[in-house]
Every structure is written in structure tokens, then in C-alpha cells.
């Protein structure tokens, strides 16, 4: 039986970092804009996790209800 988990081993083993600078922003105003957009993206991801019930996502709700027993 072949599993999919060994599939990425060859690319991971042969991976080489790119040489040189991939891209650069020298202007301070543009650099600040990019950093603020990055921070806004991370805050959006963090904030969106609070829109869902963490107890349900991690399976804790089912465990809690099982421990409480029938009503």
C-alpha cells in the first residue's frame, strides 16, 4: 500500500533556497504600507478565529457534554 506522506520527501530533500534578492522595496512609505497590510492580514486571520466556537473546532464541546452527562 502506497501512502501519500512520502510523496513530498524528494522535493523537501532537494530544495535549495533562491539565490539573491527576490524582491525589495526601498521607499519607506511603501515599505510601511506593505508592513501595515501584512499586519492587517494577520489581525484578520486572528479575528476570524473568534467568529467560530473554539470548543467545537477542537472537539472540546463533545467531551464537555459527555462529562456533564444527560440533562
For the chain, the structural domain boundaries read: 25-71
Tens of pLDDT, residue by residue over 27-51, are 999 999 999 999 999 999 989 888 8
Stated pTM of the model: 0.54
How far is Cα of residue 38 from the mean position of the Cα atoms in its chain?
13
Distances in Å between the alpha carbon of 1 and those of 5, 9, 43?
12, 17, 43
What pLDDT sits at residue 37?
Answer: 98
Amino acid at each position: 500500500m502506497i501512502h501519500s506522506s512520502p510523496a513530498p520527501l524528494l522535493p523537501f530533500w532537494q530544495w535549495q533556497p533562491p539565490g539573491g534578492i527576490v524582491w525589495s522595496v526601498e521607499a519607506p512609505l511603501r515599505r510601511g504600507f506593505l508592513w501595515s497590510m501584512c499586519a492587517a492580514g494577520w489581525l484578520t486571520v486572528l479575528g476570524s478565529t473568534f467568529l467560530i466556537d473554539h470548543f467545537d473546532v477542537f472537539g472540546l464541546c463533545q467531551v464537555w457534554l459527555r462529562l456533564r452527562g444527560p440533562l
